[in-house]
């Protein structure tokens, strides 16, 4: 029965399920998602390879569980990084740095959720919720900064009707009440943030950049100007 008092069996089942996911996460961290094998996981756990099928109907479902875990892990870090008060610009910087730090500490998990899709794997809808936690932490800050008048002289590009429709949808979901040109700039900062992290993690800066943290900090400064969090630059003429 759903929601009934858990029996010993139910508790045991949840526990073993957790152990399987934990071991899979461990192997993911070492080898990366494409190399993740059910057999290797069960081998490490000392159980028969066929036993996983009591817990996951197929390999893809284990991967889904790992994706949800990764989104939640980052989402939690992001939510915790948003300090309760202080200037919005500082909170934005801290949030961006926390996201990068998580990515550096969990490169394969980052690749799992923000990297190339796994061939043949189709992410089910249930991953959308956990996925949005991090995004909402970022957009929530923008909303708050806007409402408290901390967005100063942000450039306002005109929007075509098609762009206004798209940006409007984003605004409804994540930044209600914020003018569309500002929402568009927040989206730009969002892509810039993850673009920067992906470049660093996926080796695009290799051979050129020696101190990625310094470059990242500089890029965060630009992001802040793009969103309007940083006065003195990116202002309207």
Q: Binding string, 2-21, against DNA, x = CB under 7 A?
A: -----xxx--xx--x-----
162 binds its own copies (CB under 8 A): yes
C-alpha 59/C-alpha 117 separation (Å) is: 15
* Single residue of 44, 47, 104, 140 touching DNA by CB under 7 A: 47
C-alpha 185/C-alpha 177 separation (Å) is: 15
97 binds DNA (CB under 7 A): no
Contacts made by residues 172-178, CB under 8 angstroms, sequence distance 24+:
174/132, 174/135, 174/136, 174/139, 174/140, 175/139, 175/142, 175/143, 175/146, 176/143, 177/143, 177/146, 177/147, 178/142, 178/143, 178/146
User: Closer to its own copies at the Cβ: 44 or 132?
Assistant: 132
50 binds DNA (CB under 7 A): yes
* Single residue of 43, 124, 169, 177 touching its own copies by CB under 8 A: 169
* Single residue of 51, 104, 136, 188 touching DNA by CB under 7 A: 51
149 binds its own copies (CB under 8 A): no
Give start and end residues of each alpha helix (H) in 32-81: 38-45, 59-81
**Near its own copies in 77-116, by CB under 8 A:** 111, 114-116
118 binds DNA (CB under 7 A): no
User: Closer to DNA at the Cβ: 36 or 187?
Assistant: 36
63 binds its own copies (CB under 8 A): no
Q: How many CA atoms lie within 13 A of 56 on its CB side?
A: 21
37 binds its own copies (CB under 8 A): no
Residue 234: CB minimum distance to its own copies, A: 4
Per-residue three-class SS string for 19-41 = HHHHHHHHHHHHHCHHHCCHHHH
Question: Residue 150 has which token pair?
Answer: 């901390």
- DSSP letter at 54? G
* Single residue of 16, 17, 94, 155 touching its own copies by CB under 8 A: 155
Interface residues toward DNA, by CB under 7 A = 7-9, 12-13, 16, 36-40, 43, 46-55, 58-60
């Amino acid at each position: 029965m759903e929601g009934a008092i858990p029996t010993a069996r139910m508790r045991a089942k949840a526990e073993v399920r957790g152990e399987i996911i934990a071991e899979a996460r461990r192997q993911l961290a070492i080898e990366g998602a494409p190399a993740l094998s059910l057999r290797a996981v069960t081998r490490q756990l000392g159980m028969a390879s066929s036993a996983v099928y009591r817990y996951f109907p197929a390999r893809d479902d284990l991967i889904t569980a790992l994706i949800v875990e990764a989104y939640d892990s980052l989402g939690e870090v992001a939510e915790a990084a948003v300090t309760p008060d202080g200037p919005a610009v500082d909170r934005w910087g801290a949030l961006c740095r926390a996201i990068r730090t998580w990515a550096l500490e969990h490169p394969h998990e980052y690749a799992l959720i923000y990297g190339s899709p796994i061939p043949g794997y189709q992410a089910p809808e249930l991953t959308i919720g956990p996925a949005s936690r991090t995004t909402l932490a970022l957009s929530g800050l923008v909303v708050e900064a806007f409402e408290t008048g901390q967005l100063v002289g942000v450039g306002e590009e005109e929007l075509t009707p098609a762009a206004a429709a798209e940006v409007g949808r984003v605004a409804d979901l994540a930044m209600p009440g914020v003018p569309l040109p500002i929402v568009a700039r927040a989206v730009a900062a969002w892509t810039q943030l993850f673009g920067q992290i992906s470049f660093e993690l996926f080796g695009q800066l290799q051979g050129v950049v020696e101190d990625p943290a310094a470059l990242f900090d500089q890029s965060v400064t630009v992001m802040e100007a793009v969103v309007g969090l940083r006065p003195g630059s990116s202002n309207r003429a």
